[in-house]
């Protein structure tokens, strides 16, 4: 076992406990920022410590190794991004168009679904077989949740599967292409998107409710 990965003796742990300036959440937050902005190769203990202005040794008070940190970053991605899609797909809705609007909330609210994190993890998967397998399983769960959403609203299983794939893969492609369009322009397409995804016309009150939500998110982020 290398000295960098050894368990801390109790006396040393007490010393660190009295001097640590960064919390476990601080390490995770900075690691997520680096993952998103610079890629997984730059998620290194020394670099994170320099960003936090703490000693490298304090990292091992919270994590056994860099690999444990990477595993936890992947778990954060699953809990936030995949979790958001599953929750929104399962949210109560009177109509399929309302259900899809619930799902659309993920894609206008970075607090629900961080598309930059999603992109960073997919880039990471290009270099890691285990991460690729996690992403594949997560994508399958997301599509299954959306398919179940369509089925609850009366779509036959095969049609529900295809509509789920079209909706989900289109949205992932949207972020992969890094399209940058003003929110107002994006909202102007919502009625047609809903019709394309569902074959139904959304009532005005559903459109107004989603637009209010999206604009509220934008205004909140400006503060």
For the segment 114-157, what is each residue's pLDDT rounded down to a tens digit? 999 999 999 999 999 999 999 999 999 999 999 999 999 999 99
* pLDDT, tens digit, 9 for 90 and up, residues 41-51: 999 999 999 99
* One-letter-per-residue 3-state SS of the chain: CCHHHCCCCHHHHHHHHHHCCCCHHHHHHHHHHHHHHHCHHHCCHHHHHHHHCCCHHHHHHHCCCHHHHHHHHHHHHHHHHHHHHHHHHCCCCCCHHHHHHHHHHHHHCCCCCCHHHHHHHHHHHCCCHHHHHHHHHHHHHHHHHHHHHHHHCCCCHHHHHHHHHHHHHHHHHHHHCCCCCCHHHHHHCHHHHHHHHHCCCCCHHHHHHHHHHHHHHHHHHHC
Whether residue 215 is predicted with pLDDT greater than 80 in this model: the reply is yes
The Cα 52–Cα 69 span in angstroms is 15
Residue 91 sits in the same domain as residue 108: yes
Q: Has residue 20 got a pLDDT over 60?
A: no
Residues 92 and 143 both lie in one domain: yes
Interval 89-108 mean pLDDT: 97
Say what the pLDDT of residue 170 is. Answer: 92
Whether residue 184 sits in one domain with residue 75: yes
Determine the pLDDT at residue 147: 98
Residues 50 and 105 in one domain: no
Domain endpoint, select from 45, 64, 83: 64
**Chain segment 55-96, per-residue pLDDT in tens:** 998 899 999 999 999 999 999 999 999 999 999 999 999 999
Residue 15 has pLDDT above 70, yes or no: no
Confidence of residue 211 (pLDDT cuts 50, 70, 90): very high
Q: Which of 14-28, 87-101, 173-187 has the lowest average pLDDT?
A: 14-28
Q: Does 5 score more than 60 pLDDT?
A: no
Residue bearing tokens 């934008």? 218
Residue finishing a domain among 32, 64, 96: 64
Domain match, 84 and 135 both: yes
Residues 138, 53 within the same domain: no
Q: Output the pLDDT for position 21.
A: 78
- For residue 158, the Cα-to-chain-centroid distance in whole angstroms is 27
> Do both 117 and 210 map to the same domain?
yes
Check whether residue 202 and residue 97 sit in a common domain.
yes
Same domain, 125 and 113: yes
Q: Say yes or no: 97 and 147 in one domain.
A: yes
Quickly tell me which residue has 């960073």 as its tokens. 120
Residues 50, 145: one domain?
no
Which range of residues forms the domain containing residue 169?
66-222
* Chosen domain end from 64, 82, 108: 64
Q: Which of 39-48, 92-101, 177-186, 200-209 has the lowest mean pLDDT?
A: 177-186
User: CA angle, corner 160, sides to 140 and 177, nearest 5?
Assistant: 55
State how many domains the chain has: 2
**Does 25 lie in the same domain as 129?**
no
């Amino acid at each position: 076992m290398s000295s960098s990965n050894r368990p801390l003796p109790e006396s040393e742990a007490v010393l660190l406990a009295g001097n640590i300036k960064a919390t476990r959440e601080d390490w995770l937050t900075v690691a997520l920022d680096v993952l998103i902005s610079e890629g997984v190769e730059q998620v290194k203990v020394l670099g994170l410590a320099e960003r936090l202005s703490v000693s490298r040794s304090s990292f091992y008070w919270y994590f056994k190794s860099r690999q444990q940190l990477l595993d936890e970053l992947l778990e954060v991605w699953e809990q936030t991004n995949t979790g958001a899609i599953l929750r929104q797909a399962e949210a109560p809705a009177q109509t399929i168009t309302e259900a899809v609007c619930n799902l659309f909330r993920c894609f206008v609210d970075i607090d629900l679904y961080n598309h930059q994190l999603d992109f960073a993890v997919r880039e990471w998967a290009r270099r890691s077989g285990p991460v690729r397998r996690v992403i594949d399983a997560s994508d399958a769960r997301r599509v299954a949740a959306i398919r179940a959403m369509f089925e609850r609203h009366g779509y036959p299983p095969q049609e529900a599967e295809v509509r789920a794939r079209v909706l989900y893969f289109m949205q992932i492609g949207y972020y992969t292409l890094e399209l940058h369009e003003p929110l107002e322009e994006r909202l102007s397409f919502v009625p047609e998107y809903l019709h394309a995804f569902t074959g139904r016309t959304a009532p005005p009150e559903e459109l107004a409710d989603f637009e209010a939500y999206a604009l509220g998110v934008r205004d909140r982020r400006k503060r």
